[in-house]
């Protein structure tokens, strides 16, 4: 089986569904990684690990390190530039043309022929425009593929008691809730690869905790997926669910 993980920036793959991707690799699934940007517009670390001009190359190397830690099969980029934050912390998409992104995704899908594509959710997790663009481009791609389309899942799906409610896709309820404790060490290793982003990882969590937290403390040991295509109408019976069954906390039908 082949899975294509399609995400917007380096570190999205680890923070949102790294445990799940490691579980799939552990189950002899070829997990191919496709990143829209190299995260050039992100932070450079505290203290800085590089200059802003060097950040794209640094984050590309960090992502390659993370993919290796998660047992990934391959890594490639769509080569879009990640725009920096605005003066008031505003975030932006990496492209203006959804159809163009969808067409590039289609080309990768036709070449790799994944059985399942996993990407960001319809609310962009916390509303990030680049995450939203990935989701919208994936929807357009699957619509264009027609009978060629496989299965499409999105991450950070909503379920009661989610430990990070600010990071869920409120409008997509979970079909699979997964216990990823068995691959948490790999997820930690992958997160540690993203050294330039460590200050970002811990900033909000430290404020919430009222103390300085560590990068491993920010990582969830439960992850969730929503099946976007084809629509679930009863029991989920696809190959991805079958493979992940040993780690499923909860399986839901149409919700």
User: Across residues 53-77, what is the average pLDDT?
Assistant: 98
The answer to whether residues 117 and 152 touch, using CB atoms and an 8 Å cutoff, is yes
Tokens representing 189 are: 């290793």
User: Across residues 57-62, what is the average pLDDT?
Assistant: 98
Parent domain of 33: 2-251
Please indicate, yes or no, whether the overall pTM of this predicted structure exceeds 0.75.
yes
The answer to whether residues 205 and 163 touch, using CB atoms and an 8 Å cutoff, is no
| pLDDT of 254 | 47
The predicted-structure confidence for 114-164, as pLDDT tens digits, reads as follows: 999 999 999 999 999 999 999 999 999 999 999 999 999 999 999 999 999
- For 1, residues 6+ apart whose C-beta sits below 8 A from its C-beta are 29, 30, 115, 116, 239, 240, 243
Q: Is a pLDDT exceeding 90 seen at residue 251?
A: no
| pLDDT of 237 | 84
Q: What is the DSSP string of 64-126?
A: HHHHHHTT-SEEEEEEE--PPP-TTS----S-S-HHHHHHHHHHHHHHH--SEEEE--TTHHH
Tell me: cis bond preceding 230? Omega within 30 of 0 counts: yes
Q: Is a pLDDT exceeding 60 seen at residue 255?
A: no
User: Across residues 164-191, what is the average pLDDT?
Assistant: 97
* CATH number of 85's domain: 3.40.50.10320
Domain count, the chain: 1
Bridge partners for 37 per DSSP: 80
- For 182, residues 6+ apart whose C-beta sits below 8 A from its C-beta are 23, 26, 247
| pLDDT of 87 | 86
Q: Is a pLDDT exceeding 80 seen at residue 250?
A: no
The answer to whether residues 63 and 82 touch, using CB atoms and an 8 Å cutoff, is no
CA–CA separation, 40 and 56 (whole Å): 4
């Amino acid at each position: 089986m082949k899975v294509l993980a399609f995400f917007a920036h380096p570190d999205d793959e680890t923070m949102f569904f790294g445990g799940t991707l490691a579980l799939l690799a552990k189950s002899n699934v070829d997990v191919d990684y496709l990143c829209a940007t190299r995260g050039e517009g992100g932070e450079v670390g505290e203290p800085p690990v590089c200059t802003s001009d060097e950040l794209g190359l640094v984050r590309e190397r960090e992502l390659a390190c993370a993919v290796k830690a998660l047992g990934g099969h391959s890594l490639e980029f769509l080569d879009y530039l990640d725009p920096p934050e605005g003066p008031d912390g505003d975030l932006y998409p990496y492209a203006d043309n959804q159809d163009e992104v969808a067409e590039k995704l289609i080309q990768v899908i036709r070449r790799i022929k994944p059985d399942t594509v996993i990407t960001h959710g319809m609310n962009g997790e916390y509303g990030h425009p680049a995450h939203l663009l990935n989701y919208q481009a994936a929807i357009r791609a699957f619509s264009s593929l027609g009978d060629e389309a496989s299965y499409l899942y999105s991450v950070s799906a909503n379920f009661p008691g989610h430990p990070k409610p600010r990071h869920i896709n409120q409008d997509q309820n979970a079909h699979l809730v997964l216990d990823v404790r068995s691959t948490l060490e790999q997820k930690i290793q992958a997160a540690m690869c993203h050294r330039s982003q460590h200050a970002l990882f811990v900033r909000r969590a430290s404020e919430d905790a009222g103390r300085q937290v560590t990068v491993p403390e920010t990582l969830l040991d439960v992850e969730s997926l929503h099946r976007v295509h084809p629509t679930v109408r009863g029991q989920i019976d696809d190959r991805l669910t079958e493979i992940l069954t040993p780690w499923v906390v909860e399986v839901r039908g149409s919700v």
